[in-house]
Amino acid sequence: MMMEIAYVVFEKSTLWIAQYLPSFYSGLCALLISALTDLRMRQPLRQILTGSLVCGIFALSTSALLTWLGLPENSGAFLGALLGFVGADRLREIAIFLVYRRIGSNDKEDQK
């Protein structure tokens, strides 16, 4: 019984990966490049794990936008590599900047 459940889960997972391979590859590229960059900079293990997971999840979610933007799905590898090089800290800074620009705040004290 347990073997059948494990087989079904494995089969469904591989079918999902095959169907969304460009998005999966994009997230994997971002995760690995971010982790390797943080390792090179001698970051703590906790920061390496969380930062690379954030980059991977962000790349997975943004790779769905590629077709909406008119780009081919296989450009996800470039997107993942780009997000991995940018890193989680810089992605957060960019997001905060965009939010403050949208609401019209220029005060540096508001951003802290």
Q: State both tokens at 80.
A: 């993942």
How sure is the predictor about 109, in pLDDT bands with cuts at 50, 70 and 90?
Answer: low
Residue 107 pLDDT: 59
Q: What is the pLDDT of residues 64-97, one digit of tens each?
A: 888 788 888 888 888 889 989 998 889 899 989 9
Identity of residue 42: R
Cα-to-chain-centroid distance, residue 5: 30
The number of beta carbons lying within 10 Å of the beta carbon of residue 56 is 25
Distances (CA, A) of 21 to 1, 4, 89: 30, 25, 27
As a whole number, mean pLDDT of residues 2-17 equals 90
How sure is the predictor about 110, in pLDDT bands with cuts at 50, 70 and 90?
Answer: low
Q: State both tokens at 3.
A: 């073997």
Q: What is the pLDDT of residues 27-57, one digit of tens each?
A: 999 999 999 999 999 999 999 999 999 999 9
